[in-house]
């Protein structure tokens, strides 16, 4: 068991998300930064879809009531165990009653804690990812306890030797494909869209990131159509809205760009006022 001593700013259980339920209007959810979370799971020999803790901006304080192994990846939140600094990006032994604490994120916005065997939060529609309106709660609360595998019952895993490539945490460039409505933009709108410097607005969440400034446009709404995480919508007011993991399955705004998988990881590590630009890439 893990006891949440402090929940931090926004800590939730996430896995690879709900697959196959989009036709019922269910968002995919799952970890925002799949690169960091997969890396942490790999270090422990966990399954790719093992559930992890996703911490946002200010990390949590956790007490382990069971001995286990953990790995931390993503933004640096100054992790300590019983007050002593601890390394990220490696498999760490945890003793019973150890207290793992985090502070504010540096060089990024989201940090992942993987635990041997994964976090055993309840499954809803095949996923442990927390989502408002679908799971009992959408984030963890102080005092709550989470089930984990008992270390003694787990077979020993091969602890992978891997190198975390953290350069994406500093990247400001989001690689994008043309979206379905890209062709409806005029050449000057294309130039403005691709050559502007953007900042993340204060409206950024697991559902979407809004960018500023506004870009004037005269695109008409479309007949409501499918969208995915990474879809960049262009509203009549000129707002660019980048959909993220908890986004709806359909939308009516023109879809002008689509982030690459890697660009979604990059954006997941950005917060209010961070600088961004787009770079158009081909398939």
Chain residues in the site for other proteins (CB under 8 A): 19-28, 124-125, 133-134, 177, 180, 222-226, 228, 230, 248-250, 258-261, 283
CB of 55 to other proteins, least distance (A): 26
Query: Do residues 208 and 242 make contact, with C-beta atoms less than 8 angstroms apart?
Result: yes
Q: Nearer to other proteins by C-beta: 219 or 228?
A: 228
Give residue for tokens 């399954």. 47
How far is the CA of 135 from the CAs of 31, 149, 206, in angstroms? 15, 21, 15
Q: Nearer to other proteins by C-beta: 58 or 134?
A: 134
CB of 18 to other proteins, least distance (A): 10
CB of 77 to other proteins, least distance (A): 30
Q: Nearer to other proteins by C-beta: 78 or 180?
A: 180
Q: Nearer to other proteins by C-beta: 28 or 189?
A: 28
| Letter string b/e over residues 196-216, b meaning 16 or more CB atoms within 10 A of that residue's CB | eebebbeebebbbbbbbeebe
CB of 134 to other proteins, least distance (A): 6
């Amino acid at each position: 068991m893990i006891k949440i001593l402090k929940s931090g700013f926004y800590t939730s259980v996430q896995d690879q998300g709900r697959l196959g339920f989009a036709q019922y209007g269910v968002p995919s959810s799952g970890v925002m930064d799949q690169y960091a979370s997969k890396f942490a799971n790999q270090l422990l020999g966990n399954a790719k879809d093992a559930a992890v803790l996703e911490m946002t901006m200010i990390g949590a304080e956790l007490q382990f009531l069971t001995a286990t192994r953990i790995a931390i990846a993503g933004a640096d939140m100054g992790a300590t165990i019983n007050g002593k600094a601890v390394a990220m990006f490696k498999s760490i032994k945890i003793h019973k009653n150890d207290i793992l604490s985090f502070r504010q994120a540096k060089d990024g916005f989201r940090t992942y804690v993987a635990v041997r065997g994964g976090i055993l939060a309840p499954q809803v529609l095949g996923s442990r990812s927390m989502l408002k309106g679908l799971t009992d709660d959408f984030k963890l609360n102080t005092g709550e306890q989470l089930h984990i595998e008992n270390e003694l019952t787990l077979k020993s895993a091969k602890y992978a030797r891997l190198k975390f490539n953290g350069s994406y945490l500093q990247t400001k460039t989001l690689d994008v494909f043309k979206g379905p409505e890209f062709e409806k933009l005029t050449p000057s709108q294309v130039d403005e869209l691709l050559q502007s410097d953007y900042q993340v607005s204060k409206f950024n969440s697991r559902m979407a990131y809004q960018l500023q400034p506004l870009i004037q446009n005269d695109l008409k709404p479309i007949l409501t159509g499918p969208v995915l995480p990474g879809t960049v919508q262009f509203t009549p007011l000129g707002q660019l809205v980048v959909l993220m993991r908890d986004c709806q399955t359909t939308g009516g705004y023109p879809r002008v760009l689509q982030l690459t998988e890697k660009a979604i990881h990059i954006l997941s590590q950005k917060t209010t006022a961070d600088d961004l630009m787009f770079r158009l890439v081909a398939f």
